[in-house]
Structure 1
Amino acid sequence: MRHDGSIAHMVRRNGSNPFDQPLWRDVLRDLMGHVPAATAAIGLGLAGYGESRTVTAQQQEAVRHAVGCRIELMNDVAMACAGAFAGQPGVLLLSGTGSMAWATDGAGRQCRVGGWGSLFGDEGSAFWIGRAALAVMTELLDGRRTADAGFLASCADAMGLPRQPEACGAALLEWYGTLDHERSAVAALARSVSDLAERGCPTAARLMTEAAGHLIAHIEAARRKFPDVALPWSYAGGTLRSSFLRGAIAARCGAPAPPRLPPIGGGVLTAARLAGWAPDANWINQLARTLDAAGLGS
C-alpha cells in the first residue's frame, strides 16, 4: 500500500494453512519473493500462528530471511480482528470452515476462544453445519428419524442427488467417496442449509439456530475474559454471510458492528503502524474503499 491508501502491488497465491496445505512453506516463500524492495513493513496473518509452538516456529523460519523490512506475524483471526475494529476494543467472531472468536481490549490484551479444529470443536462453523445436515440425511435414509422427512428431499436437491431414498443413499456414498477435500466439501453445504432456513424449512432453521448457540457461546466467553471493557462484536467468514445466523446471534449479543476493514485490511493497518505512518480515520476509510474496489473486501 502507498501512503494515500492506494495499492502499489498485489499478488494472489493459494492458501498457506499448515493444517491442510502440504505445500504451505512453498506458498509462503513464493509470496515473500514477490515483496517489492521498497516495502517498509509487512503485517502477515497466518492460519495456526501462535497455536502450536512447532508450527509457529516453522512459519517464522519460512519468512525469517525472505525480506529485509520490518515484519509482524500474527494469527489470521487476530489480523481479522485488527481490521474489524481498527485497534479499538471488540470481539471478532469468525465462522468459515472452522470457527473462532478473537477479542481485544484495545490496550494490548487479547484472547482467543475456540479454533480447536474439526476433531475437537469448530462448533457453529460451516463444517459443523454441513456435517449436522449430513447426519440428519443419513438418519432419514436409515429410517432412524422420521420427523424431518421433508429435509431429505431439500438436501438431495441442493446436492444434486436423487430424491428416492435408495438411490439417494447410493449417490451420497459415491459423492463422499470421490471427495478431494472433505472438510471444504462438507462446509460448502452450510450455504444450502442457510438458504433452506431462510425459506422456512424447520429442520434447517433448527440446525442454524443450534450453530448460532455455539457461536454465541464464543462471544460470551470472550466478553467474560475482559469484564471491565464493553466489547461490541463483529464478524468474518463465509458462514456469517447468512442473515439467519447473524440475526439469531444478534438476538442474544446485540447487533453486530460492521467491520471497519476486511481481514486483509488488518494486516495492512498493522504494517502501516509498524512503518510509523500513524494512519487516521480518513486513511482507514480510504483503505476500506480501496480494498473493496480491488475485490478484497469482507
Structure 2
Amino acid sequence: MRKIMSIDGGGTKVLCLIADEEGNLLGTGTGGSANGSFNTPEEVNESVSAAIVEALESSKGSADASDIGTVYCAMPANPRPAVHDKLGGQVDLREVGEFTLSLYAAIQEEYGALALAGTGSFVHLKTETVSKRAGGHGSLFGDEGSGYDIGRQALIAYTRVLDGTEPSTPLFESINERLGEWKLSHIYEIISLPRGRQRSFISSLCRSVGHCAAGGDPVAAEILRKAGESLAYQMNGLLSKLGDELPNPFKASIAGGVWKAHPIVFSTFAECVERAHPSVDVVAPLFEPVAGGILLGLMHRGFPVKENIDLLKERLSPFLYRLPQ
C-alpha cells in the first residue's frame, strides 16, 4: 500500500513526515518558514520542497516520490506547487487545515476545541453542529498570546529599561545578548528587517522569555502568564457562544511552540478555561501537529487509531508532544 505524508508549515518552519500503512515512521524533513502573509511564493515553495526532499532522502530508500499515496497538509500558504513538483501532479493532496491536523494529533477526535499558539495564534472549536474560530488576525492587531506577541512584549519591557522607567532584570540582559552587535542604540534596526525575518526574530525571543521565567525573572513570568490569559480569554469567548449547545463533557487542547516556553502558559490557560466552563476538560496534546496527518491518513484507511494508540506512541515517539514540567 502507498505511503502517507504529512506536512505542517507555519511562520517558523515546515515539518514533513512519511509513514507506512501501519504508522511506522520512515522519513522526516524540515524546511524554512511558510506563511503566505509574510513569505513570498518562492520562499514558500523553497521551504516546502526542502522538507519533502529531506524526508524522502532520510527514508533511505524505503520511500520515494512515486510511493506517496496521500499527503495531508496544513499551513497558512499554498503548498500545491511544491508538492506537485516534488511528488507529481497525481498525488492525492488533502489540505486539511491547521485546526483539523492539530486537533487530531492532540486528542485523536474530530470534535473539540484547540488553542494554537506558535509564531501566530488562534482558537477554534468544532462540535457535531457548529464550527467557530477566533483570533488569527495577524501580528499587527491580533495573534494575542503568540510567540510574536510574547517577543513584542519582551521588547517593550527591554525598551522600558533603556528609558529608565523600569529596573533591569535577567530578561533585559538576555535580549541584549540576542541583539548582538545591534545593542542599545540599534534596536530599531529590527523594524527595517524584511517582514518575514522581522517576525521570525521577534517570535524567537519567546524562548528567551521562557528561559528567564524558569530562572525566576518576574517580568518574564508575567509576560507568559498574560499570554495564557489572552488565549483563555479567546477560548472562553468561543465556548460561551455555544451556550446550552456546549457538549458535556467537551475536550480542549493546545498546539504550537509557545506552550513549551514555560509551564505557566498552559497552567494559566487551563485554569481560566476550566473555571469559566466546568464541563470543559483541558488536556495536554498527545502528539505534535505534524503527526496528525499520519494519524488522519491511518484513520481514513481504516486503521483503528485509538485502539492502537500505545503502539502508535512507540512508532511516532519522536513527535510526542512534551510540555515543560
Q: TM-score, normalised by structure 1?
A: 0.78
**Residue in structure 2 matching 1:236, options 252, 255, 280:** 255
The answer for the alignment partner of 1:201 in structure 2 is 217
Mark the CA change 1:197 to 1:43 in structure 2 (over 3 Å): closer, same or farther: same
1:81 matched to 2:97: no
What are the superposed Cα offsets for residues 34-82 of structure 1, whole Å, 9 maximum, x if unpaired?
A: 563233322111225xxxxxxxxx5556656834243321222431112
Seen in structure 2, the aligned counterparts of structure 1 residues 278 and 4 have a Cα distance that, compared at 3 Å, is closer
Match of 2:278 in 1: none
More strand by share: 2
CA gap of 1:9–1:171, structure 2 versus 1, over 3 A, is closer
What is aligned with 1:70? 92
> Do the aligned partners of residues 110 and 36 (structure 1) sit closer, same or farther apart at CA in structure 2, a change above 3 Å counting?
farther
Partner of 2:287: 261
The residue that corresponds to 2:11 in the other structure is: none
Question: For 2:177 and 2:154, how far apart are their aligned partners in 1?
Answer: 14
Which residues of structure 2 form unaligned runs of 5+?
1-18, 57-63, 275-280
2:70 pairs with 1:41: yes
Kindly indicate whether the alpha-carbon contact (under 8 Å) linking 2:151 and 2:204 is maintained by their aligned counterparts in 1.
yes
* Alpha carbons 2:101, 2:290 under 8 Å: kept: yes
1:51 maps to: none
Change (3 A) 1:189 1:64: closer
2:271 maps to 251
% of aligned pairs identical?
22
CA distance in 2, matches of 1:97, 1:67: 31
Residue 168 of structure 2, aligned match among 150, 155, 161: 150
Separation in 1 of the partners of 2:307 and 2:238? 30
Amino acid at match of 2:251: P
RMSD: 3.1
In the other structure, the counterpart of 2:237 is 221
Please report the TM-score for the alignment, with normalisation by the length of structure 2. Answer: 0.72
What is the aligned partner in structure 2 of residue 96 from structure 1? 118
Unaligned runs of 5+ in 1: 49-57
8 A contact 2:115–2:122 mirrored in 1:
yes
- Relative distance call for 1:73 and 1:21 in structure 2 (3 A) is same
Distance in structure 2 (CA, Å) of the matches to 1:256 and 1:114: 19
The alpha carbon displacement at 1:288 in A equals 2.9
Give the aligned partner of residue 2 of structure 1.
20
**In 2 relative to 1, CA 40–228 (structure 1 residues): closer, same or farther, beyond 3 Å?**
same
Aligned to 1:279: 304
In the aligned structure 2, how far is the partner of 1:290 from the partner of 1:205?
A: 36
- Seen in structure 2, the aligned counterparts of structure 1 residues 108 and 60 have a Cα distance that, compared at 3 Å, is farther
Measure, in 1, the Cα distance between the counterparts of 2:32 and 2:191: 24
Aligned-residue offset at 1:243? 0.3
Shift of the 38–92 alpha-carbon distance from structure 1 to 2, 3 Å rule, reads same
SS of the residue 1:103 aligns to: strand
Could you say if the C-alpha distance between residues 195 and 113 of structure 1 is closer, same or farther in structure 2, counting changes exceeding 3 Å? same
Q: Measure how far apart 1:173 and its partner are.
A: 4.5
- Report SS of the residue matched to 2:105: helix
Per-residue CA deviation, residues 82-135 of structure 1 (Å, 9 max, x unaligned), is 211212432221112111123222x37433221111012011112111111211
Distance 1:24 1:85, change over 3 A: same
> Of the candidates 102, 114, 119, which is equivalent to residue 135 of structure 2?
114
SS in 1 for 2:113: strand
Deviation at 1:149, TM superposition (A): 0.8
Query: 1:191 is matched with which residue?
Result: 207
Count of aligned residue pairs for this structure pair: 276
* Structure with greater contact order relative to length (CA < 8 Å, sep ≥ 6): 1
TM-superposed deviation, 1:178:
7.3
| Alignment partner of 1:296 is 2:315 | no
Gap change, CA 1:206 and 1:193, over 3 Å in 2: same
Residue 140 of structure 1 corresponds to 161
SS at match of 1:113: strand
